[in-house]
Amino acid sequence: MQRRYLGLTAAVAALATAISVSGCGSVGAAGGDVTLKLVAADYNLDGGDGTKKYWEGLSKKFEAKNPGIKVDVTIYSWDDVDRKVAEMVKANEAPDLAQIGAYADYAADGKLYSANDMLSIPTQANFLDSLSQDGRVDRIQYGLPFIGSTRQLFYNKTLFQKAGITDAPETWEQLAADAKKLKKADVPTPFALPLGPEEAQAETLNWMLAGGSGYVDEIGTYTINSADNIKAFRFLKEQLVEPGLTGPVAPGKLNRKAAFEAFAKGQVGMLNGHPSLMQQAQKNGVKYEMAPMPTPKGNARPSMGVADWMMGFKQNGHRKEMGKFLDFVYSDENVLAFADEFDLLPVTLTASEKMARDNKHQKLHKFLEALPNSESYPVSKTSWATVSGNIKQQIGKAVEPSNTPGGILGVLSREAAALDNAAQR
């Protein structure tokens, strides 16, 4: 079900687990009675090694405090990490810990330790309550939120000035009009619409929420082809894609990473972005500003808020060691270090309060302010991982010339309902 983020959770106690990160992916140090294997996602948008350095630094500190435990960390891109973990689990070679995009299907199969099995009480109690709720299957928490973000409309101030635009659009009509002005000013991509397979489920939810709907209704039933959702995709197709306002790459083939890179090069007028885009744009000297997502009539709607998930697999039986490590990972110091590195939002109450009080995070405050009223994916549904995969592969077709939004959304909705029914049997 969609949930509103009402607070942040999971402050960290102390922990005992040694970690070491190696070059291409594997992070490991010799010696130790227990080796924990962690698969983690790469958060670098520009090919850098910040994710690797984070885990290296964390492991050294943890290793010094906890002799007898080591952690091998393998880092994969977001294009690959969920698939890699699924392959490991299928081959009966599950990692001890995985930091990926979805947990519920593994929980439903009985493969995960619960949060209660692993975490100290202070750590477990410090998670944002709504995120803690989103991490539950059958009222038991298995998914541990790792990092959070919300979305804002980013726009290039220089390109806006060039096109004679003075303010951010508040309605869909204004957004389309501004995109036309940007095209007339020879901006290569007036509005970037990444509906490619990397993260199409996120861009899709942005527009669904702005239109007044979402993936599921209040009782958790999939509503992918609701009237509001169809209306949103008709707007995208008829007012942005068909007039040539979404750039040279078809939305269904445009990935988020490529869209962000183009914005950071000054080639995009507007797009929906998460906090990490700020750092990427600043490095290239792009002058930008942010505003809430436009809606049909300009009225306020919830922003999309998401968390990535940490989970502990039972297969190797390292429950106590995993708990020590996770308590360490979720300390304020380490949570804020990761959030600082990638301009993302902490998922613990204490760390988020510290960020809100710190003026050096002033740009992030807009995203923090949006978090309490944001809405997320239906991650607690065991069908979501497969439904999300289907959306990634098919949603771009909804704005193609030969298809209708209602037709594609209808197919996706029927597939989602069938998967959900099968999961509940």
Token pair recorded at residue 102: 């979805």
Q: Nearest to residue 251, comparing CAs of 387, 152, 397?
A: 397
Question: Which alpha helices (DSSP H) does 211-312 contain, by range?
Answer: 227-235, 256-264, 276-283
According to DSSP, the β-strands at 69-76 and 136-137 are unpaired
Cβ atoms of 154 and 294 closer than 8 Å: no
Cβ atoms of 309 and 143 closer than 8 Å: yes
Q: Which domains does the chain have, with CATH numbers?
A: 20-149+306-373 (3.40.190.10), 152-302+383-423 (3.40.190.10)
Residues of the chain below pLDDT 50: 1-31
230 forms beta bridges with: none
**Predicted local distance difference test score (pLDDT) of residue 363:** 83
Integer Cα distance of 275 and 117 in angstroms: 33
Determine the residue type at 153.
L
Q: Which residue has the tokens 């969920």?
A: 82
**Predicted local distance difference test score (pLDDT) of residue 14:** 34
Question: Which alpha helices (DSSP H) does 266-329 contain, by range?
Answer: 276-283, 319-329
**Predicted local distance difference test score (pLDDT) of residue 356:** 92
Cβ atoms of 187 and 163 closer than 8 Å: yes
Token pair recorded at residue 78: 């977001």
pTM: 0.80
Buried b (16+ CB within 10 A) or exposed e, 337-351: ebbbbbbbbbbbbbb
Residue 247 phi/psi, 5-degree rounding, is 90, 180
Buried b (16+ CB within 10 A) or exposed e, 78-117: beebbebbbebbeeeebbbbbbbbbbbbbbbeebbbbbeb
Q: Which residue has the tokens 């000054």?
A: 266
